[in-house]
Amino acid sequence: MNPIIYFILLLSSLLAASGQCLFKSGASGAQIMADFINPIIIGGLMCYGASTILWIWALSRAPLLIVYPFTALTFVMVYAGSVLVFGERFSLSGMLGVACVLLGLFIIVTSRA
């Protein structure tokens, strides 16, 4: 598979994870529904929109069996963001889960290459 597709999938996952972190940040301290309409939440929506466009582009050029497992990479990135950006505590079992996800993604991608 073309390496540019892998790059696009990584970028799409990064944008989706960034959107989640922006949603968390923009939602912090919100008291009423109107509080959820703010520049940080809008930034998160823009990240999600860009991620979706890249995702659809990748789907148009690669098998779903390869593309779809990259959704798991978003989980890994959000986990890292929760620790690095928000100072949330990671656990040993959480890190083991992340390692399993990455190993699974590696196995799927390399078996279909």
Chain segment 19-33, per-residue pLDDT in tens = 999 999 999 988 999
Contacts of 2 (CB under 8 A, 6+ apart): 61
Q: Residue 110: how many CB atoms within 10 A of its CB?
A: 8
Look up the domain containing 73 and give its range: 3-111
Contacts of 84 (CB under 8 A, 6+ apart): none
Specify the pLDDT at position 112: 63
Specify the pLDDT at position 55: 96
Specify the pLDDT at position 25: 95
Specify the pLDDT at position 83: 94
Predicted TM-score (pTM) of the model is 0.88
Domain count, the chain: 1
Model confidence pLDDT, tens digit, residues 90-105 = 899 999 999 999 999 8
